[in-house]
Chain A
Amino acid sequence: MILVAGATVKLRLKPSQSQVQNSFRTLVVAVFLIGTMLPFVYAFIRLKMVTGWTFWQALSGFDTVYGGSEALRFTLLEAFASSMLTVIIGLPIAWFLSRHQWKRIRLLRAFLAVPFVTPAIVAAMGFLSLIRQDGILTKIGIDLRLEEGVIGWFAEVSGWQHPGHFIALITAHAWFNLSLMIRFVEPTLSSLDPAWEEQLSMLPGGKTRISRLKNLWIPVIGPAVLCAASLSFLFSFTSFALVKWLAPTSHTLESLMAEAGSSAGIAGYRIESSELIYSVALLQFLILLLTLWITALLQKRYSERLSLLSEQGVRKHHGPPSRLAKLVILLGILFTLLPFVSVLISSFQARKITNGSVKYEWTLEGWSNAWSGDLSTMGVGEAMSNSIIYALCTLIVALPLGWILASTIFKLEQSGWSKSSKLLDLACMLPLAISALMVGLGVLLGGLRWYPEMFNWFLLPVYPHVLLTVPFVVRVMLPAYHSLDPGYTEQCKMLNLSPLRTWHHGTFMFLRGPAVVAGSLTLAFSLGEFGASWLLVRSGTWDTLSIVVDQLMSRPNFDPLIHPTAMAAATMLMLLTFALFLLAERFRAHDQRSGF
Chain B
Amino acid sequence: MNSKIKAYLFFTLLLTSSVSGCLSEEALESLESENPCTSEIQVRESDGTLKILTYDIAGFSDELIAQFTDQTGVQVEFIRTDDAGGILDQMMLTKSAPLADLMIGLDNTYLPTAIQNCLLMEHSVSNESFTTTSMEFYDGPLALPFDEGDVCLNYDEDALAAANMSVPTSLWNLTEAEWNGKMTFPSPMTSSPGRAFLAATVDYFANSPGNESGNMSSWWNAVAQNGAIFTSGWTESYVNYYTGGYGEYMEGHIGGAYLTVSYCHSPGVEAYFSENYTHSTSLVLPRASFHQVEYTGIINGAAEVTAANQFIEFLTSIEVNGNMPDYNSMYSVRNDTDLPETNGYRYHADQANVSTAITQHLIEQNMDDWLESWQNAVRIN
**A interface residues (Cβ-Cβ under 8 A, vs B):** 26, 29-30, 33-34, 37-38, 41-42, 45-46, 48-49, 66, 125, 128-129, 132-133, 145-146, 245, 248-249, 259-260, 262-263, 265-270, 346, 351, 353-356, 358, 373-379, 417, 420, 444-445, 448-450, 452-453, 455-456, 536-541, 551, 554-560, 563
Across-interface contacts of A376 in B (CB, < 8 A): 61
Known: A379-B62, A557-B250. A536 touches B93 (CB 8 A): yes
B residues 10-39 in Cβ contact with A at 8 Å: 10-11, 14-15, 18-19, 22-23, 25, 27-29, 31-32, 36
Rounded to whole angstroms, the CA-CA distance of A351 and B246 in the bound complex is 10
How long is the Cα–Cα vector from A538 to B77 in the complex, in angstroms? 10
Q: Interface readout for B252-280 with A: 1 if CB under 8 Å, 0 if not?
A: 11110000000000000110111101010
Q: How far, in whole Å, are A132 and B249 apart by their CA atoms in the complex?
A: 9
Closest to B270 in A: A558
Chain A contacts of B86 at CB under 8 A?
262
Q: Does B375 sit within 8 A of A, measured CB to CB?
A: yes
11 residue pairs A–B, Cβ–Cβ below 8 Å: A33-B15, A37-B15, A38-B18, A128-B252, A262-B86, A266-B89, A266-B92, A376-B61, A452-B42, A537-B90, A541-B78
Q: Are A42 and B25 in contact (CB under 8 A)?
A: no
Measured CB to CB, the closest approach of chain A to B52, in angstroms, equals 8
Given contacts A45-B23, A145-B254, A262-B89, whether A452 and B99 have CB atoms under 8 Å apart is: yes
- Verify A377–B65 contact, CB threshold 8 A: yes
Taking CB atoms and an 8 Å cut-off, the chain B residues in 112-165 that contact chain A are 113, 117
Q: How large is the interface on B (under 10, 10 to 19, 20 to 34, 35 or more residues)?
A: 35 or more
Name the residue of chain B whose CB is nearest to the CB of A453.
Answer: B45
With contacts A262-B90, A555-B56 taken as known, whether A540 is within 8 angstroms of B77 at the C-beta atoms is yes
B51 to chain A, nearest CB (A): 8
Evaluate contact between B239 and A557: CB separation under 8 angstroms. Answer: yes
- The answer to whether A452 and B236 touch across the interface, beta carbons within 8 angstroms, is no
Does the CB pair A30–B14 fall under 8 Å? yes
Asked if B69 is at the interface of the complex by the 8 Å CB criterion, the answer is no
- Candidate in B86, B99, B236, B279 with the most chain A CB atoms within 10 angstroms: B99
B85 within 8 A of A: yes
14 extra interchain contacts, Cβ-Cβ under 8 A, other than A353-B249, A557-B239?
A29-B11, A30-B11, A41-B19, A66-B375, A260-B190, A267-B32, A268-B36, A353-B275, A353-B277, A355-B275, A373-B62, A448-B96, A452-B45, A555-B56
Selected from B36, B61, B82, the residue in CB contact (under 8 A) with A374 is B61
Evaluate contact between B277 and A132: CB separation under 8 angstroms. no
Given contacts A449-B31, A455-B99, A537-B99, contact A49 B25 (CB under 8 A): yes
Kindly provide the distance from the CB of B190 to the nearest chain A CB, expressed in whole angstroms.
6
Q: Are A248 and B93 in contact (CB under 8 A)?
A: no
By beta carbon, the residue of chain A nearest B91 is A266
- Interchain nearest-CB distance for B339 vs A (Å): 13
Shortest 8 CB-CB contacts between residues of A and residues of B:
A540-B78, A128-B251, A353-B274, A262-B89, A128-B252, A267-B32, A452-B97, A263-B89
Digitize B38-69: 1 where CB-to-A-CB distance is under 8 Å, 0 elsewhere. Answer: 00001011010001000010101110010000
Q: Does B207 belong to the interface (CB within 8 Å)?
A: no
Whether the pair B92, A558 counts as a contact (CB closer than 8 A) is no
Give the Cβ gap from B196 to chain A, nearest Cβ, in Å: 16
Contact with A along B163-201 (1 / 0, CB 8 A): 000000000000000000000000000100000000000
- Given contacts A145-B253, A551-B56, A266 and B239 within 8 Å (CB-CB): no
Indicate if the CB atoms of B250 and A563 lie closer than 8 Å: yes
Query: In the docked arrangement, what's the CA distance between A373 and B190, Å?
Result: 29
